[in-house]
Amino acid sequence: MPELPEVETIARGLDKGVRGDVIDSVWLGSYPEPLKSSAQQIAGTLTGTRIARVRRVGKHLVFDLEPKRSRNGRGSRQWIVHLGMTGRMLVASPDEELPKHTHAVASLASGRELRFVDPRRFGRLSVRAAADFAGPGTEPLTITAEQFTELFRSRKTSIKAALLNQKLLHGVGNIYADESLFRAGIRPRRAAGRLTRAELDALHAAIKQVLNDAIRLGGSSVSDYVNAEGREGFFQLRHRVYMRTGQPCLVCRTRIKRIVLGGRGTHYCPKCQK
């Protein structure tokens, strides 16, 4: 479900809501599918630790955990969460009904709960020892125009597929790839390596602008994204092409087209995007 702006919004909400809180106990659902580390590893690492900070790296939530005093001189640990397509990480009161497809619950010393809910089970949880989680690629919000250009040099694949490749940029998904390409005036099918420097500069700027605008509006709620407090975002109201197939382009009135690229539904304006 969530791309960079949604994960950023969730991370900010979680940081505000649970920073400094202590995880008293952890419950994990009976099936191991949504876990990347073993249930034992996760429960063992989380139980009794204080949450120092929650932040976003790419599309991952990173919980920085304070070292446990009982453990002899081991460094800090991290809890890494990927929400997949439909994952939610919610701060809730134990009185609230446990939603269907809840796979993990961390009970906090403050009396609240951290709940991981994920109907499609594409989400992944893991714990790790080091405090240097970097994610697979480069952050789109801080990359320079030069670095950005370098990423796509001599790539034969489409620019759309390249934007979705997390080993290059991490954090851009299907919505923001389509929206950025529209704003930059570039057709999704264009070969990444054949874009001009001017086009790449425009795309670089468009991505930053779209992501920042989306963060400001709390992300895009297309079907079921909500933030850590369970509230929807508003950027879906600003979508210009994504899921607007057949509707008039907001700039030129041409009908928005939908194709499949890299296995993903791809939306663009045939007139505005060259």
Partner DNA sequence: AATGAAACCTGACAGC
Partner DNA sequence: TGCTGTCAGGTTTCAT
Cite the active site residues: 2-3, 59, 264
- Among the residue ranges 15-23, 47-55, 83-91, 106-114, the one whose residues contact DNA (CB under 7 A): 83-91
- When binding is defined by CB under 7 A, the residue of 71, 74, 120, 216 that contacts DNA is 120
Q: Does 221 bind DNA (CB under 7 A)?
A: yes
Residues 6+ away with beta carbon under 8 Å from 213: 235, 238
Q: Does 220 bind DNA (CB under 7 A)?
A: yes
Q: Under rule CB under 7 A, which residues in 157-216 are in contact with DNA?
A: 157-158, 161-162, 164, 166, 170, 173-175
Spell out the SS3 assignment of 202-262: HHHHHHHHHHHHHHHCCCCCCCCCCCCCCCCCCHHHHCCCCCCCCCECCCCCCECEEEEEC
Nearer to DNA, 81 or 108 (CB): 81
User: Quick one: DSSP state of residue 169?
Assistant: B
Q: Does 156 bind DNA (CB under 7 A)?
A: yes
Burial readout 49-65 (b: 16 or more C-beta within 10 A, e: otherwise):
bbbbebbbbbbbbbbbb
Least CB distance from residue 225 to DNA, whole Å? 4
What would you report as the CA-atom Rg of the chain, rounded to the nearest whole angstrom? 20
Residues that bind DNA (CB under 7 A): 1-3, 6, 33, 58-59, 82, 84-86, 100-101, 119-122, 136, 155-158, 161-162, 164, 166, 170, 173-175, 219-225, 233, 236, 262-265
